[in-house]
Structure 1
Amino acid sequence: MFSGCLDAIDLNAGGGRKAFGCLVVGIGAFSLLLVAASADARELKVCADPNNMPFSNLAGQGFENKIAEIIAGELRAELSYTWWAQRRGFVRNTLKAGLCDLVLGTPANLEMLRTTAPYYRSSYVFVTRADGPDITSFDDPRLRDLGIGVQLIGDDGANSPPVQALGRRGIVGHLIGYPVYGDYSAPNPPARIVEAVAKGEIDLAVVWGPLAGYFAARQKVPLRITPVAPRIDGPLLPMVYDISMGVRHKDDELRGEVDAALAKHKSEIDSVLAQYGVPRLAAGGSPVR
């Protein structure tokens, strides 16, 4: 294409105009190539909550945002988001509606999704002031006399596993509920329960580990974080969860690619989790140092 133009150039016979014409043609052809390349560029569409630190937010500051960037980089894909409050109907209105293709931070083997291998394991933890009671078990008799903050899940304020564990022991008189979602018009709604411990409004809180680790480090007083025990209370009440990513049930190819990326970049992902203070447990249940 371009060699013919170059051969036609003769500066003594109006070749300057021909050269300019060839330049225009060349730029146009190059632009078409760029457009074609852009059309073929891969996109990784992630379903995420815009106001759910430390997991994700609109500014991309959450640890799931950072991990999504790692996965997109490995897949050589442009990362984009479908933002939706992570409440009842989240998966139905995002992934299953075809608006996005990947959900981070979902319990492993969740039936409504095709889940990847887990990329971390965490648990509920006791959060106390460093100068407060050192509680390590739901069976500690001191719990009966303490003001305990607990997380309520869902729009209907359903009981979280720790609430059920305390209820089984008759420890219900001093419980104070804090909705996981809270006031969505304010930033970081889940932080309220940890802030209440720091302010001395409650003696202790039982909080999902990643939330506790992130917000405890941001309080003005030192707080203590201890994984709860027992790890499984009764036959069907786990306090420890493996966390995976999820795709639609038929997206086996994407699931395989994400699995491979998680394995390849495990050390980077572990580093991100550590930076955000996520309490992690090894396969045997011991804390990851």
Structure 2
Amino acid sequence: MPAWAKTLRRLTIPLLLGVSLAGSAGAQTSDLVSNTALRVCADPANYPMSAKDESGFENKLAEFVAAKLDLPVQYTWYPMATGFIRNTLRAKQCDIVMGYAQGHELVLNTNHYFTSVYTLIVPDTSDLAAVEALTDPALKGRRIGIIAGTPPAAHLARHGLIGKSKGYNLVVDRRHESPAVDMLDDLKSGEIDAAVLWGPLGGPLVKTDYPGFKVIPLIKEELPPRLFYRITMGVRIGEKVWQRQLNSLIRRNQDEINALLNEAGVPLVTDLGTEVMEISN
């Protein structure tokens, strides 16, 4: 597996979905899955996705799911870094991780419930606001913020943009360091001219804290590595009954899921990453 793919999977954003369970809401799906609470494995400091004060958009989605299931939400908090799955899902402390890239080998993936893409973020008054792709000549000579080791870095290198870019750490303890916020603060101060961020991270941050910025989904990049990813929920390997129930929930409530994510500012794209989805709330 390419290094950038492994990196993306470490970066995967936790996203809980709004779904409803057919039949008995509290029905136990296996000997391991709780029938008394929706037990969610989550990072306590991964805002705008998850946060211990439950201010993240996945927390709001968790409340939606719990209401549908007629269950309370119960969190197991652990930093999403090395050991996250081992110490949460595999340790049977919780039953579901909200937001794993499709095909992750450490979990059993549900069907994907949204597709998103990396984005270019610029001030809406900048001459870069008309840029639609990293191949645009207007980006030449500009200082671009990039999370080191993420897939867009390969594109910056290919297009001769990496030399003046400013790198930000990928693997950090978000309780003490927030590279995405640091990057957007640098963009606000003029330290950098543009920022490249994973959409479910950058989009909501811009919506809540940086209203003067424009978020441009990078859907026109044709060469690898791809910049769009399908996001699933992760359950314990072997929990096929639980997986099938969640797949049904996703299918039955996709419009509500889309609306919740859209309200949060998550840029949603089609499954092939070629078009932005227009969602009406």
Structure 2 length-normalised TM: 0.79
Select the structure that is richer in helix. 1
Q: Against the structure 1 CA distance between its residues 43 and 232, is the aligned structure 2 distance closer, same or farther, given a 3 Å change threshold?
A: farther
Decide which of 133, 137, 151 is 1:161's aligned counterpart: 151
Decide which of 215, 226, 229 is 2:216's aligned counterpart: 226
- The answer as to whether partners of 2:41 and 2:77 remain within 8 angstroms in 1 is yes
Deviation string 1:207-255 (CA, Å, 9 cap, x unpaired) is 0001111111234551111111444523xx1100011101011111111
Q: What SS does the corresponding residue of 2:140 show, helix, strand or coil?
A: helix
Deviation string 1:44-88 (CA, Å, 9 cap, x unpaired) is 211100011111111222121222223333333332111001112
Q: Against the structure 1 CA distance between its residues 219 and 73, is the aligned structure 2 distance closer, same or farther, given a 3 Å change threshold?
A: closer
Q: Against the structure 1 CA distance between its residues 57 and 205, is the aligned structure 2 distance closer, same or farther, given a 3 Å change threshold?
A: same
Partner of residue 138, structure 2: 142
Partner of residue 212, structure 1: 202
Decide which of 244, 247, 260 is 2:232's aligned counterpart: 244
Q: Show structure 1 runs of 4+ deviating over 6 A.
A: none
What amino acid is aligned across from residue 95 of structure 1 in structure 2? L
Q: What SS does the corresponding residue of 1:217 show, helix, strand or coil?
A: helix
Partner of residue 288, structure 1: 277
Partner of residue 267, structure 1: 255
RMSD of aligned Cα (Å): 2.1
Decide which of 276, 281, 284 is 2:264's aligned counterpart: 276
Give the number of equivalent residue pairs. 242
1:63 paired to 2:57: yes
Moved more, 103-112 or 177-186: 177-186
Decide which of 242, 261, 276 is 1:254's aligned counterpart: 242
Larger Rg: 1 or 2? 1
What amino acid is aligned across from residue 113 of structure 1 in structure 2? V
Instruction: Please state how far the C-alpha of 1:112 moved relative to its aligned partner.
Output: 1.6
Matches within 5 A, 1:82-231: 82-132=76-126, 133=128, 134-152=130-148, 159-180=149-170, 184-186=174-176, 190-219=180-209, 222-231=212-221
Name structure 1 gaps, 5 residues minimum: 1-39, 153-158
- The answer as to whether partners of 2:117 and 2:227 remain within 8 angstroms in 1 is yes
Q: Against the structure 1 CA distance between its residues 257 and 76, is the aligned structure 2 distance closer, same or farther, given a 3 Å change threshold?
A: farther
What amino acid is aligned across from residue 200 of structure 2 in structure 1? P
What amino acid is aligned across from residue 175 of structure 1 in structure 2? S
Give the share of equivalent positions with the same residue, in percent.
31
Structure 1 length-normalised TM: 0.77
The higher relative CO (CA closer than 8 Å, separation ≥ 6) is in 2
